Amino acid sequence: MSFKHCLLAASVAIMWGLNFLAIDLSLAQFPPFLLVAMRFALLAIPALLFVPKPDVRLRWIIGYGLGFGLLQFLFLYWAMDAGMPAGLASLVLQASGPFTVLLGMTFLREKVRGSQMVFLLVAMAGLAVVGWQRFDSHASILPFLLTLAGAFGWAIGNICNREAHTTEPIKLTMWMSVVPPVPMFLLSLAVEGPDRIGDSFHGLATPTGLWAIAGLIYTVVVATIIGSGVWSWLMSRNPAGVVAPFSMLVPVVGMSAAFVVFGERVSIGELCGAVLVIIGVLGAGLKAAKGARIAAAEVVVPMGAEVEDSLKAG
């Protein structure tokens, strides 16, 4: 993975870290299942009308939409509506990184270098430190488990994204968004009910309503179209287990932003954990890049030797 790709992955982490604040603002106005349906409906309609289908197999579009779109955000929004703080949610959701590595090793037979695994464990240790500092009585076990389920959905989406091998990441992101709206609208009607759905559209001109709309726009345009588009582009050009760990930078951004905007306190222990996350993610990325260069050199050298031998024989 090149340095340029590392910077792009880090920029996506910033977009997604701030997205947790946008989600929190939107949930103050809309119920969670309806909000997920609205988020993807705003993408699905223009996708069907104006965006040509990407040149990938339909099963990978559906798989990406089910994993990254439906499962991840169904459980994440549900968890945050049930009381999961934005900062802590941004942390727990990053379990998608290890989940993706495990799924990649299991189903795609991707290899992880020992030194890369060490740095990945350092990053996980940092997450554990931050989680230990943040986990308190305000976050019950149910929101925690729901967020963890969302992380597994994200990992499934990563694998389907990787297998799509798309050269059209924006198109893939738009068409992935066609999958969640209908089942989420039906789920919202069944669970949240028409009354709660109707009440959520009252007071949109109030500060709470305006911030909710702004959060929804940020989620759709910045976090989904731009962020997921860049993420898809990276996943199509690098092993899933190399790109996915960069998602562990998201809680660093999310908790820092939550401190500034919502006043969530950050302790010395949390700062130490954040440093470990940064070291682990960057170290894993650099080790993976070194491994890719070595592998490329090993391919070039034998091929060069074969050409030289054939010339001599001629």
Domain ranges, residue 175: 3-313
**What are the start-end ranges of the E strands in 171-225?**
none
**The pLDDT of residue 298:** 53
Question: Cβ(179)–Cβ(61) under 8 Å?
Answer: yes
Confidence band, pLDDT 50/70/90 cuts, at residue 307:
very low
**The pLDDT of residue 21:** 95
**The pLDDT of residue 36:** 97
Highest mean pLDDT pick, 136-140, 230-234, 282-286, 300-304: 230-234
For residue 71, the one-letter residue type is: L
Sign of the dihedral through C-alpha 298, 300, 304, 306: positive
Enter the tokens of residue 305. 């030797």
**The pLDDT of residue 64:** 95
Helix (H, G, I), strand (E, B) or coil at 199: helix
Say how far apart CA 133 and CA 21 lie, in whole Å: 20
Enter the tokens of residue 185. 């609208």
Alpha-carbon dihedral of residues 259, 263, 268, 270, nearest 10 degrees?
Answer: -50
**The pLDDT of residue 311:** 43
Say how far apart CA 13 and CA 230 lie, in whole Å: 11
Q: How far is CA 72 from the centre of its chain?
A: 9
What is the domain count for the chain? 1
The rounded mean pLDDT for the chain is 84
Closest CA to 219 of 86, 92, 83, 314: 86
Say how far apart CA 277 and CA 249 lie, in whole Å: 7
pTM listed for this prediction = 0.81
- Of 22-31, 37-46, 133-142, 182-191, least confident by mean pLDDT is 133-142
Question: Cβ(169)–Cβ(12) under 8 Å?
Answer: no
- Of 12-26, 71-85, 218-232, 254-268, least confident by mean pLDDT is 254-268
219 pLDDT more than 50: yes
**The pLDDT of residue 276:** 85
